[in-house]
Structure 1
Amino acid sequence: MSKLKIETGSSPAEERFSITVTEKGPFLVYGRPPLAEQFIMPNEQNESWYFQEGRRFSTEAEPTALCRCGASKRKPYCDGSHETAAWDPRLTAPDESLLDKAETVEGGTLTMTDNPKYCVFARFCHPGGDAWTLTERSADPEARQLAIREASMCPGGRLTAWDRKTGSPYEFRFAPSLGLIEDVTIGSSGGLWIRGGIPLRREDGHTYEIRNRVVACRCGQSANKPYCDGTHAAIKWRDNLEGEPVGETLPEEVY
């Protein structure tokens, strides 16, 4: 059996938490983690700036079956539509660590790693110039702070900011939890935001690299399953959950 991969800066959740990606059907969620809509909220320039919680959903069923084909009439739950839906359930993502093929941006006080394959088109990397330029300018305290924030807000983990002096990554400290991403600005629903080191595994028991933040595909159309690749934005996929951003916002403190 291959050694379990754990991304640097991430910690595995308690043993009771896990998600199994069935080969031709839903996600099976174990451990009853909290599940709620997470709305991407804009700043005054209409750029992605923070997440705000919306409607909450139960995960009391053990396991809770969540739709991954995009066609269920009971979203976020599975209703068996995967058996007749036009989708490709194959899990095509390579067995690799997030940093295996990541690009590196060097700055004055920060390094940023970037693996574009895991972009979920949340656009938190855009304000203030962009995360890449801000990293290059990180000798400036304000640029450094914003670069850290933007990289750490990336829900799929494409971007990570690292302190050049200590070599340590910056991460929000998430409790094990799940988010149903809603992107009102572009009129699309997004993937399943898996936070706090919840293991994601295949039916045969193979566990993907454990990460503090990762987004799995819910629209059924990603070319990098089980991960989201932003296709939902191109096809304007909607889950029609009818919630509103009225709950808590994502913590502002990173480290």
Structure 2
Amino acid sequence: MSHPTNSDLAQGKAYSGHGVTVYYDARRCVHVANCVRALPTVFRPGERPWIQADQASAEEVAAVVRACPTGALHYVLTDDGPEQPEDITTVTLVPDGPLVLRGNLNIAGQREVRAALCRCGASSNKPYCDGTHAQVGWTSH
């Protein structure tokens, strides 16, 4: 089984800190805000730059990035390389929301470790969820 490489996952804008670089792909963010709640010293949506990766240890930043369900955030550790997939692939249906995947994924030819896929059909960033389901009133019932 091959694991994602730095070039596979390093998409979006880069924010570097001590021992870690965080990549943010705004097109995939649906503002779950796990990052902001877990580490507000690093993830500051009201400031520019909004990610200040040097305000916590590389390990703390990496742990919070791994909690991002959409894959909008990824990281590369200076000493250990890119984020690695979880050993077991999981699929979670979010009520009235996306299909959330974690594991060693290949989606539309792109290597991923986490992704939220559109279920409503209205996303402008298919196959990824962009939060449009809430705007169009889509439900999974």
Q: 1:104 to 1:199 in 2, by over 3 A?
A: closer
Equivalent-residue separation in structure 1 for 2:98 and 2:135 (angstroms): 13
CA RMSD of aligned residues (A): 2.5
Larger radius of gyration: 1
* Residue from 65, 88, 92 that aligns with 1:175: 88
Gaps of at least 5 residues in structure 1 are: 1-5, 10-96, 183-188, 201-206, 241-255
Alignment of structure 1 residues 11-160 onto 2, 5 Å = 99-100=10-11, 102-127=12-37, 128-129=39-40, 130-131=42-43, 132-133=51-52, 135-138=53-56, 141=57, 144-160=58-74
**Which of structures 1 and 2 has the larger relative contact order (alpha carbons within 8 angstroms, sep 6+)?**
1
Gaps of at least 5 residues in structure 2 are: 44-50
Contact 1:176 1:197 in 2 (8 A): yes
What TM-score do the two structures reach when normalised by structure 2? 0.74
Q: Write out per-residue CA displacement over residues 136-172 of structure 1, whole angstroms, 9 at most, x where no aligned residue.
A: 213xx4xx443222211112211112212x2512345
Q: Write out per-residue CA displacement over residues 22-65 of structure 1, whole angstroms, 9 at most, x where no aligned residue.
A: xxxxxxxxxxxxxxxxxxxxxxxxxxxxxxxxxxxxxxxxxxxx
Equivalent-residue separation in structure 2 for 1:121 and 1:171 (angstroms): 23
What TM-score do the two structures reach when normalised by structure 1? 0.44
Instruction: State the identity as a percent.
Output: 26
Alignment of structure 1 residues 213-252 onto 2, 5 Å = 213-240=114-141
- The structure that is helix-richer by fraction is 2
Q: Write out per-residue CA displacement over residues 76-111 of structure 1, whole angstroms, 9 at most, x where no aligned residue.
A: xxxxxxxxxxxxxxxxxxxxx6535x1110112221
Partner of 1:194: 101
